[in-house]
Amino acid sequence: MVGLGRMGGNMTLRLLGGGHRVVVYDRDAKTSQSVADRGADAARDLEDLVARLAPPRAVWVMVPAGDPTQATLDALAGLLQPGDVVIDGGNSRYSDTQRRAAVLAESGLTLLDAGTSGGIWGLSEGYCLMVGGDEAACRRLEPIFTSLAPESGYLRTGPAGSGHYVKMIHNGIEYGMLEAYAEGFELMAAHEYDLDLHAIATLWQHGSVVRSWLLELAGRALAEDPRLEGIRGYVEDSGEGRWTVEEAIRLGVPLPALAFSLFERFRSRQEDAWSDRFIAALRNQFGGHAVRRPEPR
Ligand SMILES: NC(=O)c1ccc[n+]([C@@H]2O[C@H](COP(=O)([O-])OP(=O)(O)OC[C@H]3O[C@@H](n4cnc5c(N)ncnc54)[C@H](OP(=O)(O)O)[C@@H]3O)[C@@H](O)[C@H]2O)c1
């Protein structure tokens, strides 16, 4: 396991719990040591990690998508032997994965893409795995996937890149679900009824058609902070929502809810949107409607 952050660290523990031997490497030696203290075998660097594994090896990479994943794969390509398998469990863009799988195949290496869902709950609940790539390699490594996943929580989705493709769309859907819950809860929060939002989130987990894991987490968040007063309304995105919308444009598939949810995240980062000033200025121009002026500094 390369990369022992929020995901890789817990995944290692789950693999150890499943009876696997795991050699770990993190660029922070203290992190590697803390996982080694729980039963893993800590490697000093990638060369040492490769040396500690018997061929055919399986190396799971769990680092941020983009340059960190590319750099890790490049380094591993120079160390591994034909027949070895690299699994990219991060949220890499599927087209990057297709390209990387072809490059690694030239050296006799197999790249599997394991779209991984479960977040920090995966250690106890299991990780949902969407795995693309060579079928025989997937079959050989199935004991890894079934240890990480809950029952029925692993699927081989198809050729290289397809696991990351399905994970990308999974995350795109997540954007839309979060947006829908957020809007409904905001409306309830705005009403004079003084509704107990935590109680409603909990209620809807029992027999309602909108029950879900995200709603369960909404209940937890609202139990801690019923009106979310301790959190600013600033929402990051980490790529998959954008790629989902780009894919919709490429294929000409209408995706209004998911696209809107992505743009709402951008909107959340604007303090005083330029477009709103523009509209206010034009309403003033054509109708003489009042505008609000900035506070004097
Ligand atoms: N968090 C989630 O809920 C979740 C769910 C599914 C998939 N993922 C995906 O899983 C991957 C890991 O996510 P995470 O949440 O575990 O991230 P994380 O907590 O930030 O951990 C990332 C790990 O990668 C290491 N790393 C960062 N840059 C590196 C580089 N250039 N070279 C080598 N190692 C590097 C980090 O080391 P340092 O600590 O030294 O920076 C850390 O050990 C990402 O691709 C993410 O998109 C995350």
| Count of domains observed in the chain | 2
The two three-digit tokens of residue 143, written as one number? 């004991």
247 assigned to some structural domain: yes
Question: How is residue 136 written in tokens?
Answer: 């025989």
The answer to the question of residue 274 being in a domain is no
In 3D space, the residue among 63, 122, 133, 121 whose CA is nearest the CA of residue 92 turns out to be: 63
In-domain check, residue 153: yes
Q: Can you tell me the distance from the alpha carbon of 90 to that of 81, in angstroms, rounded to the nearest whole number?
A: 22
Q: Note the pTM of the prediction, 2 decimals.
A: 0.95
Domain boundary among 159, 190, 213: 159
| Percent of the chain clearing pLDDT 70 (strictly above) | 100
In the predicted model, what is the mean pLDDT of residues 102-121? 97
CA dist 183 and 185 (Å) reads 6
Kindly state whether residues 96 and 195 are assigned to the same domain: no
The β-bridge partners of 2 are 25, 61
Q: Please give the distance, rounded to the nearest whole angstrom, from the Cα atom of residue 6 to the centre of ligand 1.
A: 7
Q: What is the pLDDT of residue 154?
A: 98
CA of 61 to the centre of ligand 1 (A): 9
Q: Is the pLDDT of residue 142 over 90?
A: yes
In the structure, how many helices (H) and strands (E) does the chain have?
14, 7
Looking at ligand 1, which atom is closest to the CA of residue 28?
40
**pLDDT of 60:** 98
85 and 213 share a domain?
no
Together in a domain, 107 and 241:
no
Q: Same structural domain for residues 21 and 95? A: yes
pLDDT tier at 94, thresholds 50, 70, 90? very high
Residue numbers of the domain that contains 234? 167-268
| 297 in a structural domain | no
Residues 95 and 154 in one domain: yes
**Residue 104: Cβ-neighbour burial (10 angstroms; 0-12, 13-18, 19+):** buried
CB of 239 sitting under 6 A from ligand 1: no
Q: Is the pLDDT of residue 250 over 90?
A: yes
* Structure-token pair, residue 69: 């994943």
Question: Does the Cβ of 159 fall within 6 Å of ligand 1?
Answer: no
Catalytic residues: 167, 174
- Residue 56 preceded by cis peptide, ω within 30: yes
Give 218-229 pLDDT, tens digit per residue: 999 999 999 999
pLDDT-derived band at 297 (thresholds 50, 70, 90) equals confident
Are both 178 and 219 inside the same structural domain? yes
- At 206, the pLDDT band (50, 70, 90 cuts) reads very high
- Short-list 219, 209, 130, CA closest to 168: 130
